[in-house]
Structure 1
Amino acid sequence: MELYNKTSFNISKLVTKTYSTSFSLGISAFAPHYRDAIYGIYGFVRLADEIVDTFHGYDQKRLMENFRKETEEALKTGISTNPILQAFVQTVNEYKIDYHYIDAFLKSMEMDLSNSYYEHEEYNEYIYGSAEVVGLMCLKVFCGDDKELFNRLVAPARSLGSAFQKVNFLRDIKSDMEERDRIYLPGINHAHKIDDESKRNLEKDVEREFKEALEGIKKLPYGVKLGVYSAYLYYLALFRKIKRMKVKDLMKGRVRVSNPTKLALLLRGLVEVRLLKLT
């Protein structure tokens, strides 16, 4: 079992590094004993996201139903023949991650298979399940047995996850609309054109959430502070780039931050966290 578990975490690590250079950089900045668990969470989230976003031409609803059943069975028995689920289940059990977070996440993934746009109530539910609970899963790992710290950081962790997700919505407007027939701006559907005003309204939420999140990042354990702060700086840089653009510009292609810029942000984070003592 030790060899199987080690291999399972290595597979989740490979998935993380293959799909996201930004998150990989952030995780590499964590103290070593945090890394496997976060790889385990990311691998699980990534696999579910792939089912609903890229497995076109297949029965995605059935695949998602099977994935939920596999997840529930693995959580019940403590083992899975799917290495990504195995790494995730080991993480859930070790850090006592609330099953409610997992159910909320899977529900949001299922919503993506039937919804092309979201009204305000559904939109908030979707963001909670698709992003905020992922941040809370990670926070369980960061805080370990310190329940008091976890409870203090729940609100800023949710704000960070929400801000990240909304930046993704803005960045991916073109692919979401053209490839997936989805619109992730509240109150906007195919009968209402996405315009710069609706973009600015969403940006106001993001700015508020970034401010709230930063106060929480300052209180994180030292071993994860640099990694989370680096991810924060990356998304903040991406957001500022998007903010200068109009909707018509976003519809031309995906906004990116270059790898040299990512490295520079990591170095900036290193200076501010370890030399200037971000508090």
Structure 2
Amino acid sequence: MSPNVFVDNGRTDAQLQRSYRACRALNARHGKTFFLATRLLAPDQRPAIHALYGFARRADDILDDIDPSRAVTERAARLDALAGQFIAEDADADAVLPAVLHTARSYRISPELFASFLDSMRMDLTVTDYPNRRALDHYVFGSAEVIGLQVLPVLGTVCPVDEAAPYAAALGKAFQLTNFLRDVDEDLVRDRVYLPADELAAHAVDRDLLQWCQAHRRTDPRVRRALMAQHAYTRDVYNQARAGIALLAARSRPCVSTALTLYSEILDRIEDLDFDIFVHRARVGTPRRAAVGSRGLARALWSRHAFPATTKPAGPQPLQPLR
């Protein structure tokens, strides 16, 4: 910890340190694959990424609370409170807010990206099905694509940010679509289906059939075909996103490449399971994650040495409490 006291909108260095640590702990506990990838970033980049994750996790925790005693109105009030605290920059209201507010200011992350994220989170309070791809894409933009756009200034680019933005958004989308495929069973428990209804209907699949599969712990052939189509679509989104890695700052490429590899391999595991997602949850095993992570770390260390950061974001620099 720095011996100097850095004050940011009333926050002292020690208070910001605690907030960044709280965000890091959330990332380590809930986002294991993502957290592994963040270890490949330079130390000065990690706190900001953890902060952005921490804010997203806070909203997710509110929405995914399936305690029947908590009405939709109560969760809506809690989400609105978090949004209000962020807009008002009320850093005392929540442990993650000092860090995320500091990160947003430091990297000049557009408030509109946070607003879009919160709009999609509000959709989860009442929307349980998506009639078509357009409707799902609207949700995915706010729930996932904006996350890619938020982290882009932290990662840095070798081109104008606007040129790299579509690829960053595509990677966020690919990660989210992977979650949708992996978590069909879990999402049904929460009364949600994150697959376009018209594309499922093309394979004679509807919510009732998905629930039958869940109840009988088996994948009906029609559902398998529908999932295969969603799987292929998601593969295409990964291919779009992969082309953007070369546009990132050299020191950030190993991290993003590793994250893309590990997360896309969840699709491999789904395929290996023959889409039997109502019995097994697709996972990338620890040995594989360790192997990919080790190779990524070697590339990351070399990149940091060969291509040291030459520019810094405008505004107060993020603290570096974490290693």
Task: Say yes or no: TM over 0.5.
Answer: yes
Greater RCO, CA 8 A, separation 6+ = 2
Contact 2:76-2:125 within 8 A present in 1 as well? no
What is aligned with 1:252? 279
Deviation at 1:110, TM superposition (A): 1.4
Higher radius of gyration, 1 or 2: 2
Q: Which whole-Å CA distance do the structure 1 matches of 2:122 and 2:248 have between them?
A: 32
Contact 2:41-2:300 within 8 A present in 1 as well? no
**Does 2:207 align with 1:190?**
yes
- The unaligned stretches of length 5 or more in structure 1 are none
**Does 2:123 align with 1:111?**
yes
User: Which residue identity lines up with residue 287 of structure 2 in the other structure?
Assistant: P
2:28 aligned to which of 4, 7, 17: 17
Deviation at 1:78, TM superposition (A): 5.9
Contact 2:62-2:78 within 8 A present in 1 as well? no
Distance 1:140 1:56, change over 3 A: farther
Q: Name the % identity.
A: 27
Q: Which whole-Å CA distance do the structure 1 matches of 2:61 and 2:158 have between them?
A: 33
Q: Which whole-Å CA distance do the structure 1 matches of 2:24 and 2:107 have between them?
A: 18
Deviation at 1:220, TM superposition (A): 1.1
Q: Give the structure with the larger helix fraction.
A: 1
SS in 1 for 2:129: coil
Aligned length: 273
- What's the RMSD between the two structures over aligned residues? 2.3
What is aligned with 2:83? 71
Contact 2:255-2:300 within 8 A present in 1 as well? no
Deviation at 1:166, TM superposition (A): 0.9
Deviation at 1:85, TM superposition (A): 1.8
Deviation at 1:116, TM superposition (A): 1.6
User: Which residue identity lines up with residue 200 of structure 1 in the other structure?
Assistant: M
* Alignment of structure 1 residues 18-167 onto 2, 5 Å: 18-57=29-68, 58-77=70-89, 79-120=91-132, 121-143=134-156, 148-167=159-178
Q: Which whole-Å CA distance do the structure 2 matches of 1:265 and 1:242 have between them?
A: 19
Q: Deviations over 1:191-216 (max 9, x none)?
A: 56571222122122211111111111
- The unaligned stretches of length 5 or more in structure 2 are 1-11, 201-205, 211-221, 304-323
Deviation at 1:270, TM superposition (A): 4.2
Scaled by the length of structure 1, the TM-score of the pair is 0.89
Contact 1:164-1:235 within 8 A present in 2 as well? yes
Q: Deviations over 1:208-245 (max 9, x none)?
A: 11111111112211222111111111012111121233
